[in-house]
Amino acid sequence: MEKGQAQKRIEELRAVLKENSRRYYVDNAPTMSDQEYDFLMHELEELEARFPEFLTPDSPTQKVGSDIDAPMGDNAEPLAGGDFVKRPHRYPMLSLGNTYSIAEVEEFAARADKALEGGFSYCCELKFDGTAICLTYTGGVLSRALTRGDGVIGDDVTENVKRISNIPLKLTGDFPAEFEIRGEILMPYSSFEALNAEREDIGEAPFANPRNAASGSLKLGDPEEVAKRGLWCTLYHIPAQSIPFDTHDEALRKASSWGLPVSSDRKICRDIDEIRHFIDYWDKARHDLPYATDGIVIKINELAAQRALGYTAKSPRWAVAFKFKAEQACTELLSIDYQVGRTGAVTPVANLSPVQLGGTTVKRATLVNADQIASLDIRVGDFVFVEKGGEIIPKITGVNLDRRPSGAVPPAFPEFCPDCGTPLQRQDGEAKWFCPNRGGCPTQIKGRILHFMGRRAMNILAGEATVEQFYDAGLVRRPSDLYRINKYQLLSLEGWQDRAAQRFLDSLALTRNVPFERVLFALGIRFVGESTARDVARHFGNIDSIESASLEQLLEVAEVGDVIARSIYDYMHEAANQEEIERLKEAGLQFAANSGPAALSEALAGKTIVVSGNFSISRDALKELIAAHGGKCASGVSGSTSFLLAGTKPGPEKLQKCSKLGIPVISEQEFRNMLPGSTAVDETQELTLF
């Protein structure tokens, strides 16, 4: 691969990985499996290793995400919690060291025995597969609930947590005046299945797993919607500094007596044999639980011993998590189908001989793309290893070569679109093959219409079956056709009654009130997710300005890089898309921003500001603050940059470029001092929105 091709592919991979991280963590509706995401990440790692001149500190390969730090670079938005107040944890929320090896559990026990010279026990508990939470009770009343965040600062989700049915708002008994207790927010399988059924019914992709569903539900902006999600809480740790008890088990028993939801599935073990027996038991019994678990946590039970062992920088020395190995089955690969997505990407899907895995029957698994088929050397008739782990999407991880039938040959990736017969194309540096027939490929057409109608786009009351019906009846070939359907046409279709037809038309009428940024997202421009659509809409203000924007002007939008800018530019310059936008305008959709952050002043008028690092408020709030005072955000430092607004941990490359170009670098407090009615930032106090 030539250097130019490598650079293009690296930029594309970064854009795809960033967008799918957002879909995974924020939308909780990933468009690719974990395996495909990892495959793309590995491809990016390999390219950056081969072309180190393109490696940057803000690459997805160099960042690890959290509730606070965006994993995709200095200027990327937080993946979650952007609208929540940030507050410091009283005691750091550290992570546990993980192991898949019983031998490493034995080493943990040996280290503890040597350091403590015996005289202690272990408390073994289930490791719940949810999202971490820290509750504070003051005078027996729930006063605060924080997510883990980055371990030091978390998102305040108190109002949402108050809507989780088994979390008591008020305690009973002899509770301390104030204490913290930590645990996990879970989504039981029953709630998960009901939620996914609802999403599929309205044409939205299902959540990938209960863990993502729980995490996303906890971060919803509407507490009443959180109440509908069927979340559950289990608590398992009170920081030893805040309680007067002798053992961890005693603390949990007391917490249970106060009315707190503490898991009873724990056991005091005296030696490694008892620990091993507990692990072996739950490795099988966990499948009968109503929620997901992914391992066993082994803790030193005596709190004095915990204090003696202390902590490393990231983890307590007095605890370790044993992770269950992903469940695996071996089954026959019967055939491979090739499916076309709304963007034209062709994805191979394996049809398997049905096999039981993780309590469900697995019949299909994605194969990601042609490169993965080649990498795994998969052939029809092979017996393949399928894993599920905590995921709903099964993954093929390998081939049992000992059982390969004689004469098996590698599958030939199709040369023509399996839906419309158009020759497939694969651009240099692309991992996927695409059908270029955007306007005539039925699957792409239906996919774009379904995306347009989705809840986070135009929120039209219809799903996949309705789109199929409209397409088959010749009523809809592009989203604007939806606005030309009348009630008589609906009633002529099978299964439609007067009430259903009216509800559909009413939901269609409501789309005329959908704000411009969601309309822009609904158009389905490649690489343009919700947050990118919002940024672009707010930057330009209306569709005409976007259509006339040059590539350079598009690159001035925060978080828009070369790949996304090119995608928007190409979309806006395609005649069919221009015609569709005009038809949607005629239908009455909003193609101009008629509302936004209230104008507070002109203090930043004419200034282009680059933001880098972490701040006391979310990036969304910071961008809105800049816009409300007349300023404009940009993603990269250039000659037109007025100043770099630097928080903690700003990007070193941006600082270097500012130094080279003589561009001022200012702190958050200096920035606030530029604004009318500014206040000091006291980082020892609670962090609130400005």
Which domains can be identified in the chain, with CATH numbers?
A: 3-62 (1.10.287.610), 86-323 (3.30.470.30), 328-403 (2.40.50.140), 442-586 (1.10.150.20), 608-673 (3.40.50.10190)
**AA letter at 270:** R
Structure-token match 């190409």, residue found: 570
For position 287, what pLDDT does the model report? 79
- Whose tokens are 């990007």? That residue is 651
Sequential DSSP letters for 310-339: -B-SSSBTTEEEEEPPPPEEEEEEEEEEEE
Q: What is the mean pLDDT of residues 80-109?
A: 81
- At 284, give phi and psi (nearest 5°): -100, -45
- Residue 155 CA to residue 80 CA, distance in Å, equals 9
Average pLDDT over residues 494-504: 92
Region of poorest pLDDT, from 7-11, 463-467, 470-474, 558-562: 558-562
Give tens-digit pLDDT for 597-646: 446 788 898 899 988 887 766 665 677 678 778 888 887 788 888 999 99
Angle at 306 between CA 303 and CA 309, to 5 degrees: 155
Is the separation of the CB atoms in 93 and 148 below 8 Å? yes
Question: Which residues are CB-neighbours of 633 under 8 A, at least 6 positions away?
Answer: 539, 558, 608, 609, 610, 611, 623, 626, 627
The pLDDT of 181-200, averaged and rounded, is 83
Q: Are strands 383-387 and 266-269 parallel, antiparallel or unpaired?
A: unpaired
Residues above pLDDT 90, as percent of the chain:
47
Strand 608-612 and strand 643-646: the pairing is parallel
Give buried/exposed letters for 604-614 (b at 16+ CB in 10 A, else e). beebbbbbbbb
Note the pLDDT of residue 656: 86
Q: Would the pLDDT of 681 be above 50?
A: no
Q: Are 307 and 407 in contact (CB under 8 A)?
A: no
Overall average pLDDT of the 207-226 stretch: 83
Band (78; pLDDT cuts 50, 70, 90)? very low
Confidence label for 100 from pLDDT (cuts 50, 70 and 90): confident
254/245 Cα distance (integer angstroms): 9
Q: Give 93's pLDDT tier (boundaries 50, 70, 90).
A: confident
Looking at residue 427, its pLDDT comes to 77
25: left (phi over 0), alpha (psi -120 to 50) or beta: alpha
Diameter of the chain measured on Cα atoms:
83
Look at residue 64 in the predicted model and tell me its pLDDT.
33
Identity at 314, one-letter amino acid code: K
**Among 566, 515, 504, 555, which residue's Cα sits nearest to residue 538?**
515
Do β-strands 122-128 and 293-300 pair in parallel, antiparallel, or remain unpaired? antiparallel
In the predicted model, what is the mean pLDDT of residues 63-70? Answer: 38
Separation between Cα atoms, residue 451 and residue 114, nearest integer Å = 60
For the ranges 105-109, 151-155, 287-291, the one whose mean pLDDT is highest: 105-109
> Edge-to-edge strand order for the sheet containing 293-300?
98-99, 319-323, 293-300, 122-128, 266-269
Q: Is residue 684 classed exposed, middle or buried when 0-12, 13-18 and 19+ CB atoms within 10 A define those classes?
A: exposed
**Structure confidence at residue 29 as a pLDDT band (50, 70, 90):** very low
Residue identified by tokens 């109503």 is 290
Of 86, 127, 299, 388, which one is the catalytic site residue? 127
Please state, in angstroms and rounded to a whole number, the distance separating the CA atoms of residues 260 and 41: 41
* CA 504 – CA 490 distance, rounded (Å): 9
Between 562-572 and 575-586, two packed helices, what is the crossing angle to 10 degrees? 70
Classify residue 496 as exposed, middle or buried by CB count within 10 Å of its CB (0-12, 13-18, 19+).
Answer: middle
Burial of 104 (0-12, 13-18, 19+ CB in 10 A): middle
Other CB atoms closer than 10 Å to residue 287's CB: what's the count? Answer: 11
Q: Is 127 a catalytic residue?
A: yes
Cα–Cα distance measured from residue 412 to residue 428, given in angstroms and rounded to the nearest whole number:
19
Would you state the pLDDT for residue 42? 67
Residue 23 vs residue 291, higher pLDDT: 291
Tell me the pLDDT of the chain averaged across its residues: 84
pLDDT at 126: 96
Find all residues with CB under 8 Å of 535, minimum gap 6, and list them: 557, 558, 559, 560, 623
Is the pLDDT at 75 greater than 60? The verdict is no
- In terms of C-beta density within 10 A (0-12 exposed, 13-18 middle, 19 or more buried), how is residue 327 classed? middle
When pLDDT is averaged across residues 496-523 and rounded to a whole number, the result is 92
CB 12 within 8 A of CB 429: yes
Residue 32 is predicted with a pLDDT of: 55
pLDDT exceeds 50 at position 460: yes
| pLDDT for res 683 | 33
More reliable by pLDDT, 528 or 134: 134
pTM score = 0.53
pLDDT computed for residue 53 by the predictor: 86
Instruction: Provide the β-strand partners of residue 434.
Output: 345, 425
CA distance 130 to 210: 7
| pLDDT of residue 58 exceeding 90 | no
What does the alpha-carbon distance between residue 300 and residue 123 come to, in Å, rounded to a whole number? 6
Question: Which of 89-98, 340-349, 584-593 is the least confident region?
Answer: 89-98
Determine which of 509-518, 549-558, 674-683 has the lowest per-residue pLDDT on average. 674-683
Torsion of CA 311, 683, 69, 55, to 10 degrees: -100
The CA distance from 1 to 43, in Å, is 13
184 C-beta neighbours (distance < 10 Å), count:
22
pLDDT at 483 over 60: yes
Please report the pLDDT score of residue 648 as a whole number.
Answer: 81
**DSSP state at residue 207:** P
Are residues 437 and 417 in contact, defined by beta-carbon separation less than 8 angstroms? yes
pLDDT in the model for residue 242: 65
